[in-house]
Amino acid sequence: MEQNQQNNQNNNNNNNFFNKNPIFVFAIFAFVIIFLFRTFSGDEGMMGENLRGTTQQVGYSELKSLITSKRVNKVYIGQTNIKAQGEANVVYTARKVNDPNLITILDANEIPYSSYNESNAFTDVLFSWIIPPLIFFGIWFLLITRMQKNVGGGILGVGSSKKLVNSEKPKVKFDDVAGVEEAKEEVQEIVDYLKFPDKYLRLGAKIPKGILLVGPPGTGKTLLARAVAGEASVPFFSISASSFIEMFVGVGASRVRDLFETAKKEAPSIVFIDEIDAIGKSRGSSPMGGNDEREQTLNQLLSEMDGFDADKSPVIVIAATNRPEILDAALLRPGRFDRQVLVDKPDFKGRCDILRVHMKNVKLSPDVNVEDIGRLTTGLAGADLENIINEAALLAGRNSKEFIEQKDLVEAVERAIAGLEKKSRRVNQKEKRIVAYHECGHALIAEITKGAKKVSKVSIIPRGLAALGYTLNTPEENKFLMQKHELLAEVDVLLGGRAAEEVFIKEISTGASNDLERATDIIKAMVSMYGMSEVAGLMVLEKQRNTFLAGQTIKDYSDKMAEKLDNYVREVLEEHYKGVLDSLRTYSGAIENMVKALYEEETIEGKKVREIIAEFEANSGLNSRLEPIENEQESQNKDEKSAEI
């Protein structure tokens, strides 16, 4: 305690004005010295003898009158001034004028005169050659000293990590992390080890030195790492891997050393490195080769993870990435990052749990149904769900509501999926009619095609940057596998919009460009990646580069195979397009009824769409191609029961 008080007192003493502003103080000091030299180095001392008395400034003509009246004893002529010693200890000073008669007047009145040098050799050398360099080097020295003191480590402090590391003791607990139950179980033993290390050490067990959290963006990897530190009540040092990289060689390695030295002093502790792929990229993957700054930083990280004893100074390294496939093999070997934990997007129950966690801090209306929102948000990550709750709160606040209602949450979901509603965008009647038939075509094919996603909502209200309308298809649960007929059903749904324009408008528009692009990509993937055609058989033609990011694929096939692939894609698209056209002509009455409902309400729910189709089938005597509604209700009941469990 006394040592801390003494340190605080020393810090307060060093925190005065002079220590805070050394450059400013030095500049003031230099100015005072120059001013004193200028003040006390008068011209009198430059004449070989002193002029004593009161100095009086006079004009040149008045000085000549004093000379002719012999009221001065001696005259001193300088480069710019003339000084005369007068009676009663008065020194007359006048500006020099180019007057060739002055010397004649002085000789005529027998007044002695001489010249004097107004400058001084000592002061000239001092102020021209000595003081300016001293000021320059003094400021440079203070600047270097100050930067090294504040940042520390290396030239200008670029090798230190103190300013880049966020050190804290998080208050986040496992209860604040939802939707990743399996991942929490994997890291639970880390918490137990940090709390009760003897329980493991007496059995000879060694805790993993490193844990790698992998998964798509926004799934809660950083939050999970903070929760581990919060549950264990240990210091948490977090830094982004990109902070290790600098233009100076060796800086990244120095920062790695500094980070681990700090963590060891606070052991037991947790070091969290976010986006570790910035420095952990596989060595030798660069086409240029060489031992660059990134590789030196990686080498130092590998050395540090080998260099500390987890038993004596337990420092757990947790890293996060969404590109595990590019990490160096030496980084993933046992003894470094011993364990990889998948933090994936949540399922239905996980989404409901995440929504409940984020709903704790907002005011909800009693009519809010979490399960309904969970079904609408299939495929979204935890960060998306948090943003939906916040967006719903903003919408409710904008409308001056006391509570967040169900329709606010639904609107927030639609904003996250389809974009901001553009009620101010004016669409003429011709385009509105095209959009209505286009979206109804999507909706009808989605409902009558086996394996297609069911319709949640159809709208002709513009949203986002370019969408003039949208059909919302949200599956009730995550699908990790898709069968061939489900992929082809998705192609049919995508072609339904353009086909509806051809059947009912009698002319196609540019509105189906994105639909055709997505349909083409699906069929290409069926051939080149999934082996679902006879064109390439079981041979894989494209490899996906990133597991969790929608990155580019690596193509590996000949020009002849590319020609076969193009022909097959075209044939499949044309075949399914003809089938979609036939279905739309058969259900033309249902399309017209849907369009009429859209014109009246602008937005219709999926339930209304199914009712219109079922009514048309009953009136036309057609065999129903709709799945029975009771099956869907049973599926919902099963989901609700599983959520309760």
User: Which two structure tokens, joined as six digits, stand for 320?
Assistant: 């996060």
**How far apart, in Å, do the first and last CA atoms of the chain sit?**
53
CA-nearest of 205, 273, 261 to 237 is: 273
User: Which two structure tokens, joined as six digits, stand for 66?
Assistant: 């004093």
CA-nearest of 78, 83, 53 to 67 is: 83
Per-residue CA distances from 574 to 492, 499, 510, 522, 533 (Å): 11, 11, 18, 14, 16
Q: Is there a cis peptide before residue 268, judged by omega within 30 degrees of 0?
A: yes
Distance between CA 214 and CA 221 in Å, rounded? Answer: 8
Distance between CA 276 and CA 186 in Å, rounded? Answer: 20
Q: How is the chain split among helix, strand and coil, in percent rounded to 5?
A: 55, 15, 35
Instruction: Give bridge partners of residue 237 from the DSSP assignment.
Output: 167, 271
Which of 186, 439, 447, 476 is catalytic? The answer is 439
Task: Examine the residue annotation and report whether 181 is marked as an active-site residue of this protein.
Answer: no
Tell me the pairing of strands 269-274 and 236-240.
Answer: parallel
What 8-state DSSP symbol labels residue 242? G
Residue 548: HSE in the Cβ half-sphere, 13 Å Cα cutoff: 19
Per-residue CA distances from 48 to 51, 53, 118, 551 (Å): 10, 16, 11, 87
Give the number of other Cβ atoms within 10 Å of residue 206's Cβ: 13
Is residue 456 classed as helix, strand or coil in its secondary structure? strand
Amino acid letter for position 345: K
**Which helix H or strand E contains 292, and what residues bound it?**
none
Tell me the pairing of strands 603-605 and 455-459.
Answer: antiparallel
CA-nearest of 224, 229, 97, 256 to 171 is: 229
**Which helix H or strand E contains 609, and what residues bound it?**
helix 606-620
Give the number of other Cβ atoms within 10 Å of residue 591's Cβ: 24
User: Which two structure tokens, joined as six digits, stand for 265?
Assistant: 């002093």
Tell me the catalytic residues: 439
